[in-house]
Structure 1
Amino acid sequence: METRTDEIADGIYRFSTFVPEVGPTGFTFNQFFVDAAEPLLFHTGMRALFPAVSAAIARIRPVEELRWITFGHVEADECGAMNLFLAAAPRAQVAHGVVGCEVSIDDLADRLPRRLADDEVIDVGDRRIQHLDTPHAPHNWEARVLYDQTTNVLFCGDLMTQLGNGPALTDADLVGPAAVAEDLFHATSLGPAVPAALRRLADLRPTTLAVMHGSSFTGNGETALRDLASVYDERIAADRTGAPRA
């Protein structure tokens, strides 16, 4: 498997590994590296991806300079290599929401994590990274996203997931492909928390959506998030009435 590196915004790099065996058309596993005064990684990848992801980081900055290890929620593809990165970077610390730390990360991480309150901001030296709790959106009680207030990049985690191996960054519609992926995987917690979280994130008016599975998006992120919220509103309503989904 090859891991590609693309700069999707100023100082923000996407590492992408395509796995053709997942789903009918393959699936990408993406990590994002913020090349800041205090470098930040969003998603570590599974443990098996640690050599490839650490090598990708090393082409930008020495891995031992990594300061913040972050991810959307507790799953192998999000944080499987967490402790390998903690061992490789002696100053690194996991930063996550309070719930995630209390129920999992305090025990799983080899060093105690930094607990973040909803809307709390980490100053990484030359940009400000905001933490936002998104419980059950798209899934898991401890789910959250990050927002780079300096570059208007929203690190979406599993939101806007797509199949296949598209370009690193696109201005094409992602809502339709995200609906197709949901039809296949049924990965989202289908409840009111999802559209509510998407509309809260839309209020940030991001110009780049850094997506964990599939292409990242550049353009009107507010509209894309609101359109996806409407898709889930329709699905929730259909489930309540027993009507076929659109």
Structure 2
Amino acid sequence: MVTTNSQAGTNVEEIADGLYRINTPVTLPGDAGGFSFNQYLIVDDEPLLFHTGPRRMFPLVHEALSHVIDPSTLRHIAFSHVEADECGSLNEWLATAPDAAPLCGTVAAMVSISDLADRAPVALADGQAISLGRHRVKWLDTPHLPHAWECGFLMEEHTRTLLCGDLFTQGGATLPALTTADILGPSEAFRRSMDYFSHTRNADAMFERLAQLEPTTLACMHGSAWSGDGAALLRALALSVHD
């Protein structure tokens, strides 16, 4: 792990081949404890950033990414759904990388990004994949899982990494970049204290579809990324959210 900003604690670490986790710890208001925001960078012929971070966090994320590649070479600015921590600094990244475009699902492009972004988005249909070079990412529509009509995830097929957004959100500000320890228990404890799941009736089918991809790394937006039997963990989460 390389700490790229000692004051903020922002750091970057490679968690899979050519795939880097950028992490910034924060303190939540009151006595809510620590939290963290992650972005994921795929280094390839066409570099991709998944999650932008909030707009006010842009200088920290930009600084961290600069330790890996020249930010101006980014080609894809991708995200799961439309929230500040997912795409709040989208336009700042588009200004930094003149050849980059937003990469999102068709619903996000239609209802938000075509208007909000300073450059036209590339809208991926459900199941559509694009090559970055050695890496290949496939978009999966997951409406309302865990929230937002436009929600979806990217599966990176070379490393078998599921860029899974707000699934398995863990509290805490000092968690390891990549773990094989239990994240289901901590993430479900966090969810039950602040229930951000929509509990869509289609959740079981979507969880099973994700499990059938058999990811070996889960790139979570908040907390540690996880390595192991991703299919089993996704199926366990599907059961747990019914409790």
Tell me, in whole angstroms, the C-alpha distance in 1 between the residues paired with 2:108 and 2:119. Answer: 14
Q: Which residue of 2 aligns with 1:188?
A: 197
Q: Percent identity?
A: 47
Of 21-30 and 110-119, the range deviating more from structure 2: 21-30
Residue 196 (structure 2) pairs with residue 177 (structure 1): no
Gaps of 5+ in 2: 1-7
**What is the identity, as a one-letter code, of the residue corresponding to 1:40?**
L
Q: Which residue of 2 aligns with 1:204?
A: 213
Gaps of 5+ in 1: 236-246
Q: CA deviation at 1:230?
A: 0.5
Q: Which residue of 2 aligns with 1:122?
A: 130
Q: Which residue of 2 aligns with 1:218?
A: 227
CA contact (8 A) 1:174 1:224 kept: no
Of the candidates 6, 22, 38, which is equivalent to residue 13 of structure 2? 6
Tell me, in whole angstroms, the C-alpha distance in 2 between the residues paired with 1:199 and 1:62. Answer: 38
CA contact (8 A) 1:196 1:229 kept: no
**What is the identity, as a one-letter code, of the residue corresponding to 2:28?**
E
**What pairs with 1:158-169 in structure 2 (closer than 5 Å)?**
158-165=166-173, 166-169=175-178
Tell me, in whole angstroms, the C-alpha distance in 2 between the residues paired with 1:93 and 1:156. Answer: 21
Q: Which residue of 1 aligns with 2:26?
A: 19
Q: Which residue of 2 aligns with 1:240?
A: none
**What pairs with 1:82-121 in structure 2 (closer than 5 Å)?**
82-121=90-129
Q: CA deviation at 1:196?
A: 2.4
Q: Which residue of 2 aligns with 1:241?
A: none
User: Runs of at least 4 residues of structure 1 off by over 3 A?
Assistant: none
Tell me, in whole angstroms, the C-alpha distance in 2 between the residues paired with 1:53 and 1:163. Answer: 20
Normalising by structure 2, what TM-score?
0.94
Q: Deviations over 1:27-69 (max 9, x none)?
A: 1100000011100000000011111111111111111000000
Normalising by structure 1, what TM-score?
0.93
Of 182-191 and 41-50, the range deviating more from structure 2: 182-191
Q: CA deviation at 1:169?
A: 0.6
**What is the identity, as a one-letter code, of the residue corresponding to 1:101?**
A
Residue 85 (structure 2) pairs with residue 53 (structure 1): no
Tell me, in whole angstroms, the C-alpha distance in 2 between the residues paired with 1:172 and 1:20. Answer: 23
CA contact (8 A) 1:96 1:113 kept: yes
Q: CA deviation at 1:195?
A: 2.9
Tell me, in whole angstroms, the C-alpha distance in 1 between the residues paired with 2:207 and 2:223. Answer: 18
Tell me, in whole angstroms, the C-alpha distance in 1 between the residues paired with 2:178 and 2:112. Answer: 33
Q: CA deviation at 1:105?
A: 0.5
Q: When you count helix as a share of all residues, which structure comes out higher?
A: 1
**What is the identity, as a one-letter code, of the residue corresponding to 1:89?**
A
Q: CA deviation at 1:201?
A: 0.5
Tell me, in whole angstroms, the C-alpha distance in 2 between the residues paired with 1:176 and 1:192. Answer: 23
Tell me, in whole angstroms, the C-alpha distance in 2 between the residues paired with 1:45 and 1:127. Answer: 23
CA contact (8 A) 1:69 1:93 kept: yes
Q: What secondary structure does 1:157 align onto?
A: coil
Tell me, in whole angstroms, the C-alpha distance in 2 between the residues paired with 1:179 and 1:192. Answer: 19
Aligned length: 234
Residue 165 (structure 2) pairs with residue 137 (structure 1): no
**What is the identity, as a one-letter code, of the residue corresponding to 1:162?**
Q
